[in-house]
């Protein structure tokens, strides 16, 4: 996978894993990382699939309809890649916090389903329920999860988000969920709420 890695210089640091939306790349979300402090590593990936020239992390069958078989494959592929990269770049694979927007949030969510104890936390901006035909596995770490949705987002129904949050809670995750007055686009309020959550959960060493 194409990636950008920026070390904090601290071997004990958390790593912020940045996962872009459809049509983005590994550079898009890097400016957001500065809001979370200087004592973190930054790892930003580019999706490994392509839809009409737009990078994505997995295929979809139609707008809002995921190719769940490909999503499962790509999620395992990404986790394996990150574990190998942790050895190469010398960061701690047990201290990774995902920050994903839209398509990136969805592969981060799929990671919670399939590798529930891999991430140390996750920030999901405009997520959708990643799987309808796959049971979520149990999380034993009470891993903190942040979700933010827009009440004017035509791509995601409020009912689906409620089901998603319920599934995460049932699986043992520590979920914080916000619905804000906006559409699918990322807003400053999303970022402010995520930074506040990040500090409250004490996710910086």
Between the CA of residue 205 and those of 9, 89, 121, 198, what are the distances in Å? Answer: 13, 19, 13, 12
In the residue annotation, 153 being an active-site residue is answered as yes
Q: What angle do CA 82, 99, 169 make, to 5 degrees?
A: 100
Please give the model's pTM, rounded to 2 decimal places: 0.97
Query: For residue 67, what are its two tokens?
Result: 């190719």
Predicted local distance difference test score (pLDDT) of residue 93: 97
Domain that holds residue 131: 2-201
The average pLDDT across 49-58 equals 96
For the residues of 17-43, what is the DSSP string, one character each? EEE--TT--TTTTHHHHGGG-SSEEEE
Give the count of domains, the chain.
1
Question: Looking at residue 9, which CATH number applies to its domain?
Answer: 3.40.50.1820
Q: Is the pLDDT of residue 150 over 80?
A: yes
pLDDT one-digit tens code per residue, 74-115: 999 999 999 999 999 999 999 999 999 999 999 999 999 999
Determine contact, residues 106/127, Cβ cutoff 8 Å. Answer: yes
From the list 8, 102, 148, 149, the catalytic residue is: 102
Of 20, 7, 30, 35, give the one whose Cα is nearest residue 78: 20
| Known catalytic residue at 7 | no
pLDDT digits (tens, 9 = 90+) for 162-195: 999 999 999 999 999 999 999 999 999 999 999 9
Catalytic option among 76, 174, 184, 187 = 184
Give the pLDDT confidence score for residue 177 in this predicted structure.
Answer: 98
């Amino acid at each position: 996978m194409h990636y950008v890695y920026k070390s904090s210089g601290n071997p004990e640091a958390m790593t912020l894993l940045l996962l872009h939306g459809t049509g983005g790349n590994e550079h898009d979300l890097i400016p957001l990382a500065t809001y979370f402090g200087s004592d973190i590593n930054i790892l930003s990936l580019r999706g490994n699939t392509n839809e009409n020239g737009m990078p994505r992390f997995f295929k979809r069958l139609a707008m809002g309809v995921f190719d769940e078989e490909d999503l499962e494959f790509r999620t395992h592929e990404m986790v394996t890649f990150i574990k190998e990269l942790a050895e190469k770049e010398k960061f701690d694979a047990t201290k990774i916090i995902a920050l994903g927007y839209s398509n990136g949030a969805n592969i981060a969510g799929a990671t919670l389903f399939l590798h529930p104890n891999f991430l140390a936390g996750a920030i999901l901006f405009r997520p959708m329920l990643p799987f309808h035909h796959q049971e979520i596995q149990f999380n034993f770490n009470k891993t903190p999860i942040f979700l933010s949705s827009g009440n004017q987002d035509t791509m995601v129904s409020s009912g689906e988000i409620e089901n998603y949050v319920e599934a995460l809670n049932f699986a043992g995750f520590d979920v914080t969920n916000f619905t804000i007055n906006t559409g699918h686009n990322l807003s400053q309020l999303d970022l402010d709420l995520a930074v506040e959550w990040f500090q409250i959960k004490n996710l910086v060493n």
